[in-house]
Amino acid sequence: MEMKIIFFLLSFTIFELSSAQLRVGFYSSSCPRAESIVKQVVQQRFRTDRSITAALLRMHFHDCFVRGCDASILIDSTKSKSSEKDAGPNLTVRGFELIDEAKRNLEAACPSTVSCADIITLATRDAVASAGGPAYNVPTGRRDGRVSDSSEVNLPGPSLSISDAAQFFTAKGLTLNDMVVLLGAHTVGVAHCGFFQDRLSDFQGSGKPDPTMDPALAARLLRICGAQSRPLNRDPTVFLDQNTSFIVDKQFYNQIRSRKGIMQIDQELALDKLSAPLVSRLAANDALFQQSFANAMIKMGRVEVLVGRAGEIRKNCRVFNPTKPKGRTG
């Protein structure tokens, strides 16, 4: 037990030291237009595709929860190595071309200066603000990882209990409250029917819908997700937030309090005694949600970051930089 405590304290100290090296305005001298370049790309995309906010939130979360916020999710697989991008949970992650565009523009302005990891963080922040969410400053100075392995991807699933899901977050230095707030990202985005279809008609083998879901909602979703509605093996999607589907606001919490959560874990947030009190406070106070969401996103963006001389600054976010050959002696 004592050794576990020592290991936790050492891990926490390393986390604090590494994240402390991040700072707001990291590129103010080396690439003064860095943040405005990323913002321009995001805002241009948002004007034609408001769903990009959910896509980037998901990408950021899926990146930080494997090897930390190091852009390892951006690496393309090779014939000999399957990267994180091709792990099952990441097959529906999208938005990579936006990151590529921002990187090309940054390389033109400031070659080999701005990391792909910082681009993900900045782009997500700007997409949240574009969708009516909080505008907040994020510290930068992350560096890009040199490892991306599909076998390392282990993310919390949509059917976990609150206590089981919380273990994934506490392992990354985040609290239960952080988890409740970060799952508020489901205020935007969609879910494929396959992730919640068991709740609609045969919950846990009962032959009945999940009793925690509003019956009218279950019936409507069944019409969308039923076999007769899924030709050619398609997996339809539905909005996670049924009311303000493209706006980052507190309405997600109001819906789960009304038993209208789409994913089981979302509905559990409003039912579990560990999380329900915070759900109620967030549902009642948009200012609290906005500030809490900003703080939680900043905190998540510090998870297991690479700083200083660790990692690298990729020239192309999809591939590691070539390894420099060792010098030869004559």
Q: Where are the domains of the chain?
A: 16-154, 162-298
Report whether 235 belongs to an annotated binding site.
no
Helical residues (DSSP H) of the chain, grouped into ranges: 2-20, 34-48, 52-64, 96-109, 116-130, 162-170, 176-182, 198-201, 215-225, 251-257, 264-271, 276-284, 286-300
What is the reported pLDDT for 279?
Answer: 98
Name the stretches of the chain with pLDDT < 70: 1-20, 227-233, 325-330
Is 16-154's fold the same as 162-298's?
Answer: no
Please state whether the predicted TM-score (pTM) of the whole model is above 0.85.
Answer: yes
Report whether 214 belongs to an annotated binding site.
no
Give the up-direction half-sphere exposure of residue 62: CA atoms within 13 A in the CB hemisphere.
27
Report whether 16 belongs to an annotated binding site.
no
The model's pLDDT over 51-98, given as tens digits with 9 standing for 90+, comes to: 999 999 999 999 999 999 999 999 999 999 999 999 999 999 999 999
Report whether 92 belongs to an annotated binding site.
no
Q: Which of 58, 62, 199, 257 is catalytic?
A: 62
CATH architecture under which domain 162-298 falls: Orthogonal Bundle (1.10)
Which letter does DSSP use for residue 303 in this model?
T
Helical residues (DSSP H) of 113-214, grouped into ranges: 116-130, 162-170, 176-182, 198-201
CB under 8 Å to 272, separation ≥6 — which residues?
161, 162, 163
Q: What CATH code would you report for 16-154?
A: 1.10.520.10
Report whether 60 belongs to an annotated binding site.
no
What is the reported pLDDT for 226?
Answer: 79
Burial of 301 (0-12, 13-18, 19+ CB in 10 A): buried
Token look-up 């050959």 returns 325
Residue 99 tokens, joined = 């990151």
Asked if residue 128 lies in contact with residue 188, where contact means CB atoms within 8 angstroms, the answer is: no
Q: With b meaning 16 or more CB within 10 Å and e meaning fewer, what string describes 267-298?
A: bbbbebebbbebbeebbeeeeebbebbbebbb
Active site residue 60: no
CA 71 – CA 96 distance, rounded (Å): 11
Asked if residue 265 lies in contact with residue 160, where contact means CB atoms within 8 angstroms, the answer is: yes
Amino acid 105 reads N
